[in-house]
Each structure stands twice: as C-alpha cells, then as structure tokens.
Amino acid sequence: MKKRKLGMSDLEVAPIGMGCWAYGGGEYWGEQSQRDVNEVVSRALDLGINLFDTAEMYNNGASEESLGLALKGRRHEAVICSKISPSNAYAKTIRKHCEASLKRLGTDYLDVYMLHWPINEISVKHFTDDPDIIASPPTVQEAFGALMDLQREGKIRYIGISNFGVKQMDEARATGAQIVVNELPYNILSRAIEKDIVPYCIKHGIGIIASMALQQGLLAGIYNSPDDVPPYQAHSRHFKHERGAGTSRHGGEGAEEEVFQTVRALQEIAHDLGVHIAQLSIAWILAKPGIRCALVGSRNIKELESNVKAGMLELDNEIIGRIDRISEPILMKLGYNPDYYESPENSRIE
Ligand SMILES: NC(=O)c1ccc[n+]([C@@H]2O[C@H](COP(=O)([O-])OP(=O)(O)OC[C@H]3O[C@@H](n4cnc5c(N)ncnc54)[C@H](OP(=O)(O)O)[C@@H]3O)[C@@H](O)[C@H]2O)c1
C-alpha cells in the first residue's frame, strides 16, 4: 500500500487507518476482547497499516489504554492520533488531559493531537454535564494556544482538528496554529463535506481523515433493513428520529429507503467486481480528492484482512461516477449539514 502524507506534516500513513473507538469495550460497541485488539494491531502493523485513531472520550480512556497495551514494543512503528474533548480544552486543563492520554497509551508523545469537536454550546454539552463548563467553555484562542505549547514541549508532534467546518477552520488557523489534519465523517452515505469543507482543506493543505468509513457497519452490508440496526448505530440522520431508542437528537425523518436502496445497489456492483461491499466502499473514499486516510473499525483479524484489500483496489471513473449517482438521493434528502447527528439548526459544524 502506497503511503500518503498527512497534510503539511512529515507523517506518512497507509491510506487505511485503524479506528480504535471500540477498543476497551463499552456501551456503544459492546464487548471487545484485548486478545482481538492485540492480534489486530500486530497484524495491521505487519501489513503496513500505521495510523491508529483513538480519543480520551472513547470508552472513558479504555480505548487508549487498550491500544497502548497492544502497541507495546512497536510504538515506534505507529502514528498515534488521539483527541482532547472540547470540554477539557482550557489552558489550565489541557496539559493534565494530554499527560493522562500519554500515560494510558504508554508513550511520551502523540503524533497528532486533535480537538475532537469545535467548541460551542451544543458540542460541549455532549461531553459534560458541568453547568460551569457549558456556560463558559474554553475559548478557541486558549485551546489552540495550549496545543501549541504542548507541541513546543514535544508532547505532541502535530495539531489536528476533528469535525470542523469552514468558519471554524478559519478561526482555528487565525490562532497561528498549523493544522495538519481535519477528521470528518465521510463515506458513500455521508457526503456533506464534499461541497465546502473538502475544497477548503485542499486549498489550505489540511489533510482529511475520513471517519466512519463504513457508516458504522451499513456499508459492510451487515444489516438488511433499518430494523436490524442497533439503537446507537441508528442515531444518525440516515434513520428516522424515533429509531435511536428515544436518544436520537436530530428530529428528522431520515433517508432509510434511499440508504438501503443504495446499499443493495452497492452489493450488486461489488458482486460484479468480485469484491466485498466494504472493500468497494473504502476504495471509493480513497479515490476522492483530499482524503489521506480512511478510518475503519476493523475489530478482528478477519475484518482487517478483508478491509485491507481495499488499499489495492483501484476503481475506474465509470464505477466511481455510478456510485456517486446511486448515492445522490441520500445527499439530496439529508442535505449538506456535515453533522450527521444534529438537525441543520443545531449543527455543531459551521
Ligand atoms: N472524530 C470523530 O468524531 C469520529 C466519529 C466516529 C468515528 N471516528 C473514528 O472512525 C473510526 C471508524 O468508525 P466506526 O468505528 O464508528 O465505524 P465503521 O468503521 O464505519 O464501522 C464499523 C463497523 O463495521 C463492521 N465491519 C468492519 N469491517 C467489516 C467487514 N470486513 N465485514 C463485516 N463487518 C465489518 C464492524 O462490525 P462488527 O461490530 O460486527 O465487528 C463494525 O460494526 C472509529 O473507530 C473512530 O476511530 C471518529
């Protein structure tokens, strides 16, 4: 697999990255054995996959801890990306949180440290119930100022952002921080970033890391109908609001029919090409402009060994155009709000 440069950094990463959200196990993804994590991380490194994406928020630190255990003795082969929650991004708290992440990961530096979400009332509320933090969240200037301090001290090599829109990227760059990557939801069923965010990132040399490459399993073909999808995975705007067991926040009607029609059409294309729908879906992302890496939650060796083949799959323009047309009705219905969990009025991404 040919490596790609992450934005204006000197980091070279394989185009398929390891999404480590499930590591450590937890309510959202259910049980995840350390044995599977050890095996999958070690096999990934053997296969040349080097980017590992985690966050302090994933399973309350257990994801970082689990990844740290699995990388023991091979940390130098990995590019570790972790994320600070916006509610912890005060100048006075960020260092403590970064050091806690380093400790859990068993390392003394992070390759990329990202601000997990832009700082605004709705996003902060998602990370904390503390009324003082919600009333007076960190400022953009102090968060990026503190990240630049950590960078000068060598605790982090590069600064990244996640889920930032154009206005928010302007604000972040105005602090003087050099932003190397923006991690955003991007896949065949979630194409909102194509309109404004991708062109902006390309113009300013910000590499895009595509998260949720398989739209949490939908593009792996593991569900035959909306009724099959577990409540957490049905929280996104692809599904009608009622579907997420009363905890969806978007209030919309979803695009269930369009989504499953698209998945069925993709299954046919994948069948004709003799590949798995997950491989087709990952290869489509990697063919798109601005994308440096697609994050996949490969949770065991079997999934990893199948998914990694997408790195060798080159789709021709006819197939890419067909997939674009097939998925267009979803884009039309869900619109260009890149926040797939909140209504356009409450979008955390501006
Ligand atoms: N920055 C952010 O705000 C943000 C947000 C979301 C995600 N992310 C990152 O993106 C990563 C990837 O997203 P994700 O983990 O949410 O979801 P994902 O990668 O889109 O999908 C994971 C799901 O796909 C299934 N799967 C994977 N490969 C498969 C295969 N070959 N065959 C069958 N099923 C397969 C897994 O099934 P099983 O469960 O059955 O194993 C799992 O349910 C995360 O781990 C995280 O690092 C970042």
Each residue of 103-134: pLDDT tens digit?
999 999 999 999 999 999 999 999 999 999 99
Q: Which residues contact 253 (CB under 8 A, 6 or more apart)?
A: 240, 241
| pLDDT average, residue stretch 156-182 | 98
Determine if residue 276 is left, alpha or beta; phi over 0 gives left, psi from -120 to 50 gives alpha, anything else beta: beta
User: Per-residue pLDDT tens for 27-61?
Assistant: 999 999 999 999 999 999 999 999 999 999 999 99
Instruction: Please report the domains of the chain, with CATH numbers, ordered by start residue.
Output: 4-223+289-315 (3.20.20.100)
Closest ligand 1 atom number to CA of residue 117: 3
CA torsion sign for 132, 133, 135, 136 is positive
Q: What is the mean pLDDT of residues 182-206?
A: 98
289-306 mean pLDDT: 98
Q: What is the average pLDDT across 13-17?
A: 98
pLDDT class of 16 with cuts at 50, 70, 90: very high
- Res. 160 pLDDT band, cuts 50 70 90: very high
Residue 326 pLDDT greater than 90, yes or no: yes
DSSP E strand stretches across the chain? 4-5, 12-13, 16-19, 51-53, 79-84, 110-115, 156-162, 179-185, 207-211, 291-296
- Ligand 1 pocket residues where CB is under 6 Å: 19-21, 53, 162-163, 183, 211-217, 220, 222, 278, 295-299, 303, 306-307
State phi, psi for 114 to the nearest 5 degrees.
Answer: -110, 150
Specify the residue with its C-alpha closest to ligand 1, atom 8.
Answer: 211
Candidate from 123, 188, 211 with most ligand 1 atoms within 8 A of CB, to mutate: 211
Position in ligand 1 atom list of the atom nearest CA 296: 19
Nearest atom of ligand 1 to the alpha carbon of 114 = 1
- Supply the residue whose CA is at minimum distance from atom 36 of ligand 1: 217
Q: How many CB atoms lie within 10 A of CB 31?
A: 8
The residues near 269 (Cβ < 8 Å, ≥ 6 apart) are: 280, 319, 322, 323
Cβ within 8 Å of residue 33, ≥6 positions away: 25
Mean pLDDT in residue range 262-282:
98
pLDDT of residue 245: 80
What Rg, from alpha-carbon coordinates, does the chain have? 19
For residue 21, the CA-to-ligand 1 centroid distance in Å is 8
What percentage of the chain carries pLDDT values higher than 70?
100
What pTM, to 2 d.p., does this model score?
A: 0.98
pLDDT at 246 over 90: no
Are 181 and 208 in contact, with CB atoms under 8 Å apart? yes
Residue 66 · residue 37 · CB < 8 Å: yes
Supply 316's token pair: 């021709």
Q: Would you give the DSSP letter of residue 255?
A: -
**Euclidean distance between CA atoms 179 and 7, whole angstroms:** 8
Distance 215 CA to ligand 1 centre (A): 7
Terminal Cα distance for the chain, rounded: 34
Atom of ligand 1 nearest to the CA of 213: 20
* Nearest residue to 106 via CA among 144, 161, 59, 52: 52
Amino acid identity, residue 342? E
**Averaged pLDDT, 210-222:** 98
244 pLDDT tier (thresholds 50, 70, 90):
confident
